[in-house]
Amino acid sequence: MRNGTNGILGAIRLAAWRMMAKGLVPARWIEPDLPAVEARSARTGRLAVEIVSHCWNYSHLLVYQLSSLVRHPPRECAVTMTVLYSDSDVETVRVLEYFASLEVENVTWQWREFPPEQLFRRGIGRNAAALASTADWVWFTDCDVLFEAGCLDTLAAALQGRRDALVYPLEEHCTPLLPDDAPLLAAGRNAPAVLAIGDMPLQVRPRKHATGPLQIAHGDICRAVGYCRAIPLYQAPSPVWTKAHEDGAYRWLVRSKGVGLPIPGVVRIRHLSKGRYTGSEFNTRLRARIRESQMRLREPEALAAVRTRDELK
């Protein structure tokens, strides 16, 4: 057991926090320092947006995310692209070194290194980034999310003068569920380069509230309360990758499931294998089978929403 986060005691604590995050107790009891709406700045003009991404063993997806900023740099806002990573993930380091050599207008690269046991608890890196950010808005995301044409400039226009704690895109556009040997993923594993997903058909998926990779928080909120800083469990290192239960707790603490905004060009690469998890080959295959079954059950409900990339331009 480490820091009381694993084993039976850890499971009990996790269950307790998950229950509380469902509204069992008022969030103000845990995080009393949330700035009131009238105390938050209503920024206008050229906004500063920080994107906070998290990468462990997903360099073949990260390369597409960073490429999307190179291919579609923002014009109406200044973007800081922050990647949380570990030096022991050598493929991710290779991708970051490549993109650090590229100058992109209105984009600042920022890499923040963490020991693996801190990276495995996503709330640790997100909390550190939130407290340190100087941006007007902070987009917490995952490295399989791309920012295609019009995404960030439309976001900047939609955020003018807003004081919401949290906003999110009303839709995301998803690739089919890709197996490990899909050409798109194989290309991402080659030497780093600026890549595009091409004309792959994308499935439009509406979102009813903010989710882990689609949480865009007000900068004043980030600097005041971090990311679940008040919950010790979600700031405790872990020897293995942990599921991001802190995302739901974060929305509870900021008292918002998010305000939906029409933001185009939010694309997500869906992939079958979860390379960030540790364990035996059998467990890895089992996770992949379960994930595939879950996605196949959900797929029929959204088949009518499939659009080609040309339709999204």
**What is the pLDDT, as a whole number, of residue 18?**
79
192 belongs to a structural domain: yes
Inter-CA distances, 101 with 80, 94, 95, 171, 193, Å:
15, 11, 10, 32, 11
- Mark out the alpha helices in the chain (DSSP H runs): 7-19, 27-30, 59-71, 90-100, 116-119, 122-132, 151-158, 183-188, 219-225, 246-253, 281-302
Return d(Cα 302, Cα 291) in angstroms, integer: 17
Q: How confident is the model at residue 313 (pLDDT cuts 50, 70, 90)?
A: very low
Return d(Cα 71, Cα 66) in angstroms, integer: 9
- Check pLDDT > 80 for residue 178: yes
Q: Which of 51, 21, 3 is nearest to 230 (CA)?
A: 21
Contacts of 128 (CB under 8 A, 6+ apart): 112, 114, 226
Return d(Cα 121, Cα 119) in angstroms, integer: 5
Q: Indicate the pTM of the whole model.
A: 0.87
- Check pLDDT > 70 for residue 289: no
**What is the pLDDT, as a whole number, of residue 193?**
98
1 belongs to a structural domain: no
Is 139 within 8 Å of 79 (Cβ atoms)? no
**What is the pLDDT, as a whole number, of residue 251?**
97
Q: How confident is the model at residue 291 (pLDDT cuts 50, 70, 90)?
A: very low
How many domains would you assign to the chain? 1
Inter-CA distances, 113 with 55, 89, 197, Å:
10, 10, 28
Q: What is the pLDDT of residues 35-90, one digit of tens each?
A: 999 999 999 999 999 999 999 999 999 999 999 999 999 999 999 999 999 999 99
Return d(Cα 217, Cα 157) in angstroms, integer: 15
Q: Which residue has the higher pLDDT, 275 or 91?
A: 91
2 belongs to a structural domain: no
Is 201 within 8 Å of 176 (Cβ atoms)? yes
- Check pLDDT > 90 for residue 129: yes
Q: What is the pLDDT of residues 78-120, one digit of tens each?
A: 999 999 999 999 999 999 999 999 999 999 999 999 999 999 9
Q: What is the pLDDT of residues 139-154, one digit of tens each?
A: 999 999 999 999 999 9
Report the mean per-residue pLDDT for the chain: 88
Is 44 within 8 Å of 160 (Cβ atoms)? yes
Span between the terminal Cα atoms of the chain, in Å = 51
The mean pLDDT of 238-254, rounded to a whole number, is 94
Return d(Cα 245, Cα 169) in angstroms, integer: 21
> Percent of the chain, pLDDT > 70?
85
Instruction: Say how many residues make up the chain.
Output: 313
**What is the pLDDT, as a whole number, of residue 17?**
75
122 belongs to a structural domain: yes
Q: Which of 270, 274, 267 is nearest to 244 (CA)?
A: 274
Contacts of 280 (CB under 8 A, 6+ apart): none
**One-letter amino acid of 191:** A
- Check pLDDT > 60 for residue 294: no
In degrees rounded to 5, what are phi and psi of residue 18? -65, -35
The mean pLDDT of 209-237, rounded to a whole number, is 97
The DSSP letter of residue 51 is E
Return d(Cα 110, Cα 100) in angstroms, integer: 9
Return d(Cα 76, Cα 150) in angstroms, integer: 10
Domain that holds residue 248: 7-312
239 belongs to a structural domain: yes
- Check pLDDT > 50 for residue 239: yes
176 belongs to a structural domain: yes
The DSSP letter of residue 149 is T
148 belongs to a structural domain: yes
Using DSSP, state whether 47 is helix, strand or coil: strand
CATH of the domain at 200: 3.90.550.10
Q: How confident is the model at residue 268 (pLDDT cuts 50, 70, 90)?
A: very high
The mean pLDDT of 129-138, rounded to a whole number, is 98
